[in-house]
């Protein structure tokens, strides 16, 4: 069964450093998303991406965040200068129809 793949599964970084979280969406999907879950809290929407541009972003997705689809298979989330409060599990998701979302297993980001 096709699945969304995320790498790395764990990422530890120092505050102020840049991180790139990588995702390979399901191959025929057109809609791509990033969500995050801070420990003990709910899953929160960050950004949606369609047709090579951001279609919607949340208040969390400020200028420190960016997304890119550098080639036909990868979808990345970059955090330019990480803060302690960026520590969370980051989930990538993709969808064929913009409705049913398929999530990856997540990248646990720890900012020290």
SS3 content of the chain, % helix, strand, coil (to 5): 5, 50, 45
Which is closer to other proteins, CB of 14 or CB of 97?
97
DSSP alpha helices (H): ranges in the chain?
none
Which is closer to other proteins, CB of 66 or CB of 103?
103
Binding to other proteins in span 82-111, by CB under 8 A: 91, 93, 95, 98-106
2 binds other proteins (CB under 8 A): no
- Strand bridging mode 19-24 / 75-79: antiparallel
Which is closer to other proteins, CB of 1 or CB of 71?
1
Binding-site size, other proteins (CB under 8 A): 24
Nearest approach, Cβ of 43 to other proteins (angstroms)? 4
Distance CA 88, CA 64 (A): 15
Q: Are 18 and 86 in contact (CB under 8 A)?
A: no
65 binds other proteins (CB under 8 A): no
Q: Are 51 and 63 in contact (CB under 8 A)?
A: no
Residues near other proteins (CB under 8 A) are: 4, 31, 33, 35, 41-45, 48, 56, 58, 91, 93, 95, 98-106
């Amino acid at each position: 069964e096709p699945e969304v793949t995320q790498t790395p599964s764990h990422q530890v970084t120092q505050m102020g450093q840049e991180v790139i979280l990588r995702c390979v969406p399901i191959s025929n999907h057109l809609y791509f998303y990033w969500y995050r879950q801070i420990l003990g809290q709910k899953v929160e929407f960050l950004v949606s991406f369609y047709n090579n541009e951001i279609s919607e972003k949340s208040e969390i997705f400020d200028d420190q965040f960016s997304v890119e689809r550098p080639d036909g298979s990868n979808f990345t989330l970059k955090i330019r200068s990480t803060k302690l409060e960026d520590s969370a599990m980051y989930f990538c998701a993709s969808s064929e129809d913009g409705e049913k979302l398929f999530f990856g297993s997540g990248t646990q980001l720890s900012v020290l």
